[in-house]
Structures are given as structure tokens and as C-alpha cells.
Amino acid sequence: MSTGYFSPSRDVFTASSVDLAPRLLGARLTHETDAGSVVLRITEVEAYLGDGTDPGSHAFRGRTRRNEVMFGEPAHVYVYFTYGMHACANIVCSPAGTASAVLLRAAEVVAGAQLAQARRGTVPPRDLARGPARLTVAAGIRLDENGADALAAPFALEMPVRVSPHLSGPRVGVSGEGGTEAYPWRFWIPGDPSVSVYRPATRRGARALRTPPPSRG
């Protein structure tokens, strides 16, 4: 275990996403593939609650085939497909049956940068995992890993002993009420170059755990 970090038990993830999200800032997430490992230091996250509670969440209208993992055992990975081209990764939290998840919005690549660069192309180091879709590409997290255990291979997670200094504000690109100041559930490490640029919602929709149209649930 690294100095200042600990390997969390599953009980840590029974907290709600709003409570857990800032504690994940500075955490180190490792993802291993046949090509090698990439280690991310998480710098930006967003919290999403569940059924009938959070209008910005995939689980706002209840359980569906798409969001089933959000209702499952905590400390698993919820990976979803968006815009027909991107995968985004979340850490499920709260007790099983209570949908709650933390979206991994941005991170610094602290190991495996050469592999991340090969996956992302010629981009500055700060942009390798700057944004939720870039993060999954850099780390090699796949859509078929939806439901995987975040605490077991091919994943590993170390959390900081102390909560990192952070700021909070509205979530990025979430349409409707869920993207307002009433839901300041985006948390980030101030001044970190890997943190994504804030953009309010557009008519196209959101990149985070946006409530999907009924026909897509």
C-alpha cells in the first residue's frame, strides 16, 4: 500500500454518492489489460443518486436493463454507452437496491502513460484522461466490463487517507433541473490541469448520467 493511501473495503462504498464522491478525489484507479496497466489519479467526479431523487440520473425513473448495475452491490463499475460512440465509467455506491454512482470525469495518468498515449493519439499529457470518455479510452475500460468489481482484477483502487482539498459546483452537461445549482455534485481538485472544462447542458443532452428517453431505458 502506498504511503497516504489505503485499499478500501466494500463497506466504504455503502455511503451515498454525494458523500463518497469527494473522497475519491486523489484516489488511484488501476486498470490492467493484455497490453499493460494504466494507473489514474482521479481529479474530477460527479455524484448521481437514484430512483425519484435525482433528475440528472439514469436511475431517476427506476430500474431498467441499462441501469441495473447501479442498483447492485457497491464498489462495482457501471459502464454505459453514450452518443453512440463513447463509454463512460462510474463507481457504484450505497447499499444494494439503492441506485447511486460516482461518474469518473477526469484523471491524471500517473503510470502507463505510453500505453494511454497510444490509445489516445498525440495529445498533451493533461488531456489523456481529461473528460469521462477520454478517461475510459486512456485506461482501456470497455463497455463489456459493465458490472465488474472495482476492487478486483482487472481493476484495483487505492483511496487517499485524507480527503483532498476540493471545490464543487453544478454537473457538466446535465439538462433540466439536474444541471442547476441545486445539484452542486461535481467535485474537483482545484488547479489540476487534468480537470475538464465546465460546460452547461446543450440541447443535445449530457455526457454524464443524464436521464435517458423512456425508449432507451
Domain positions in the chain: 5-193+200-211
Q: Read off the pLDDT of residues 139-167 as tens digits, 9 standing for 90 and up.
A: 999 999 999 999 999 999 999 999 999 99
pTM (global) more than 0.85: yes
Q: What percent of the chain has pLDDT over 90?
A: 68
> Do the strands 155-160 and 5-6 form a parallel or antiparallel pair, or are they unpaired?
antiparallel
Q: Does residue 203 register a pLDDT over 70?
A: no
- 5-193+200-211 sits in which CATH class? alpha beta
Q: What is the mean pLDDT of residues 69-80?
A: 95
Q: How confident is the model at residue 215 (pLDDT cuts 50, 70, 90)?
A: very low
For residue 32, is pLDDT > 60?
Answer: yes
pLDDT of residue 199: 72
